[in-house]
Amino acid sequence: MSPLPFSIDLNNKVAVVTGGAGVLGSAMCRALAACGAKVIIVGRDLAKAQKLATEIEATGGIALGVSCDVLDRAALENVARQIESGFGPCDILINGAGGNHPKGVSNLEYYDAEQAEADPANTTFFDLDIEGYRFVFDLNLLGTLLPTQVFAKQMLGRPGCTVINISSMSAFKPLTKVAAYSNAKAAVSNFTQWLATHLAQSGVRVNAIAPGFFITEQNHKLLIQDDGEFTPRARKVVAQTPMRRFGEADELIGTLLWLVEPKASGFVTGTIVAVDGGFSAYAGV
């Protein structure tokens, strides 16, 4: 585990992290555990979640890996009951589950009738599949809303509780090709602000982290060629990032720890924090 940028005391806190076994989620789980939190790693792949939990426990942390579909309300409620019984009520919820779908993507950046007609494999906005689009919205938006309905209910009336959603750069600036994902993440940011207002007088803070470009399992093939070199899209991303590189998962941790610690961010709610190497600030010229 990389050294923490600073330490906070999360002893006796229960942190639930959906999508916790992914590249970014696992870095967050390790950091929360290193600060003393009891970390519940929620993922579709039970083996991956349990493997991460074992690694955390080997370093002296407390963790449990569980399998749960974030779109299944009944399954979420069952997991919530198990966690409350075994560890206590949820104090920190990280909504990290999300992703894209090939049918919600166009492979042409700009509509070009000649290109579209020249090759049936070329897809534009007009070819986007509604089921693929719906899948992306369900996973990212409802996959944030439903866990929050279930776990934030355990937070009501208890001090220091917080929800952190994972938005995206594509919520600030819609990215070419990935229409469904950009639209869904914009909805996550909007939902974050709405819920922060709704829960503001309950004591529960709601914020979001919007990562810039990080190389993960989901986007690896999109960004890295078989020979290890950057793809054209990756080169374009780096050219638009003032720091001229991709982010490292551990570079999200300082923002995460700041947001979960009420002594540091107790008056912060409804905020979407960009961690992006300057991508959202750069106009390209």
d(CA 164, CA 25): 12
Amino acid type, 88? G
d(CA 256, CA 265): 11
Position 35 pLDDT exceeds 90: yes
User: What is the spatial order of strands in the sheet that 205-211 belongs to?
Assistant: 62-67, 38-43, 14-18, 92-95, 162-166, 205-211, 272-275
Q: Give residue 251's pLDDT.
A: 96
Position 2 pLDDT exceeds 70: no
pLDDT tens digits for range 197-243: 999 999 999 999 999 999 887 788 778 888 888 888 899 999 999 99
* pTM metric for this prediction: 0.94
Active site residue 181: yes
All structural domains of the chain: 14-212+250-275 (3.40.50.720), 218-246 (no CATH)
Q: Give residue 253's pLDDT.
A: 97
What is the secondary structure of 239-285 as a DSSP string? HTSTT-S-B-GGGGHHHHHHHH-HHHHTT--S-EEEESTTGGG----
Q: Give residue 26's pLDDT.
A: 97
Point out the catalytic residue in the list 111, 133, 181, 282. Answer: 181
Q: Give me the mean pLDDT over the 102-123 stretch.
A: 92
Q: Give residue 228's pLDDT.
A: 86
Question: Among the listed ranges 1-10, 79-88, 135-144, which one has the minimum average pLDDT value?
Answer: 1-10
Amino acid type, 137? F
Residue for token pair 């991709």: 246
